[in-house]
Structure 1
Amino acid sequence: MPLQDRLDAFKADFEGGKLAYKPGPDVLDVIHRSTAELIATGQALNAKKAGDKAPEFTLKDADSHGVSSAELLAKGPLVVSFYRGAWCPYCNLELQALQMAWPQIEARGARLVAISPQTASNSRKSQREHHLTFPILSDEKSRIAAAFGLRFSLPDYLVELYKGFKNDLPTVNDDPAWVLPMPARYVIGTDGIIAYAEVNPDYTQRPDPAELLPVLDKLRAASVA
């Protein structure tokens, strides 16, 4: 099943009160309002896009080992997925889809990393629960997300809702600021130039990993031309 179909099915179950937690109209109004307001800012339009130089980074993986984008790009193209954290069910569905696509990505000579603001212990939770075999990197204070133009501050009314959910982002991310990245997917060529970019301020909308494969095929063909 395509990733978006799985996301849509989860959203329908959540908003339809079919899950263990049944949100009331007031909760759904807050969620929809925050998404609409983030879209209205136009921030996604100003994030890094295809043709831009990708910011370099060195981040720690779930075992606190440094992972360098420059070192990965020396071996081939790099797929980078920014996600909100292990607490986000939409992100978890995306990670599962990326894991399923990982053999096809690797077969095309590319590397894959996922980046979130959460601490290493929460990254280990993501890897363990979803059987991930690609690196999960911790973006301290969301600095790399900011360099890509993805970091945003949660409005006060959404912070209060998250607190009611016991979703303590300052603890999860070891950062007193209530900030998150907009979900985003990038393919970076070995020259450091972004070949593919998908940024969506609506976190319930994610591109299918299959979209990456033609981009990687094109990069591989160009490298041997």
Structure 2
Amino acid sequence: MALQSRLDAFKADFEAGKPPYNVPYSVIEIMRRATAELIASGAAQRALKAGDKLPAFTLSDPEGNTVSSDGLLSKGPLVISFYRGVWCPYCNMELQALQEALPQFQELGASLVAISPQNPANSRKSVRQNNLAFPILSDPHNDVAAAFGLRFEMQDYLIELYKSLKNDLPAFNGDPSWTLPMPARYAVGQDGVILYAEVNPDYTRRPEPEDMLPALRRAASLSA
């Protein structure tokens, strides 16, 4: 099943209040309001796009190893997924779909990483629960996400909702600022130029992993 079909099915069950979710409609309304406001802000249009240069970064993987964008690109093209956290079911389904597509990326010489504001312990949990063979890099304070134009501050009413749902982001992330990255996916050539970019302020909408393959094939042909 396509990734978006899986997400749509989950969303339908969640918004219908089916077990085990059983959320009141008021929660759905608040989430819809927050998404609509983020869309209306135009933030996604200001994020990095295809043709832009990748901001260089150096982050830690869940085991504390240092991983740099330069080091990754020295091996081939790079796929980056910005991941909100282990608490987000939509994000976890996306990671699972990326894991399924990983052999196709590797055939084209590409590496895959996820970037998340969550702390290393939660990234280890994400890797374990989603059976990932690629790393989740910790982005404290969403600083790398900000360099991509993806970081946004949560409104007070949304913070209160998250607290009521036991989604304590300061605890998950080790960061008192209530910020998140917009879900985003990038494919980057070895020269550091972004070949593919998909940013969506609606966290329930994600591109298919296969959508990046044409860009990665172009990158592979250029480096051949």
Q: Deviations over 1:38-84 (max 9, x none)?
A: 00000000000000011011110010111011011011000000010
Q: Say whether residues 1:182 and 2:185 are aligned partners.
A: no
Alpha-carbon distance in structure 2 between the residues aligned to 1:213 and 1:134: 18
The 5 A counterparts of 1:1-225 are 1-224=1-224
- SS of equivalent to 1:52: coil
How far residue 20 of structure 1 moved from its aligned partner, in angstroms, is 1.0
How far residue 220 of structure 1 moved from its aligned partner, in angstroms, is 1.0
How far residue 23 of structure 1 moved from its aligned partner, in angstroms, is 1.7
Query: Sequence identity of aligned pairs in percent?
Result: 62
Alpha-carbon distance in structure 2 between the residues aligned to 1:21 and 1:98: 25
Count of matched residue positions in the alignment of Structure 1 and Structure 2: 224
Unaligned runs of 5+ in 2: none
Alpha-carbon distance in structure 2 between the residues aligned to 1:107 and 1:36: 39
Alpha-carbon distance in structure 2 between the residues aligned to 1:18 and 1:217: 42
Alpha-carbon distance in structure 1 between the residues aligned to 2:148 and 2:54: 8
Aligned Cα root-mean-square deviation (Å): 0.7
User: Which runs of structure 1 show a deviation greater than 3 angstroms over 4 or more consecutive aligned residues?
Assistant: none
How far residue 212 of structure 1 moved from its aligned partner, in angstroms, is 1.2
Q: Deviations over 1:166-204 (max 9, x none)?
A: 110001000000000000000011111100000000000
Alpha-carbon distance in structure 1 between the residues aligned to 2:19 and 2:113: 30
- SS of equivalent to 2:220: helix
Alpha-carbon distance in structure 2 between the residues aligned to 1:21 and 1:187: 34
**Amino acid in structure 1 at the alignment position of 2:162:** Y
- In the superposition, the TM-score normalised over structure 2's length comes to 0.99
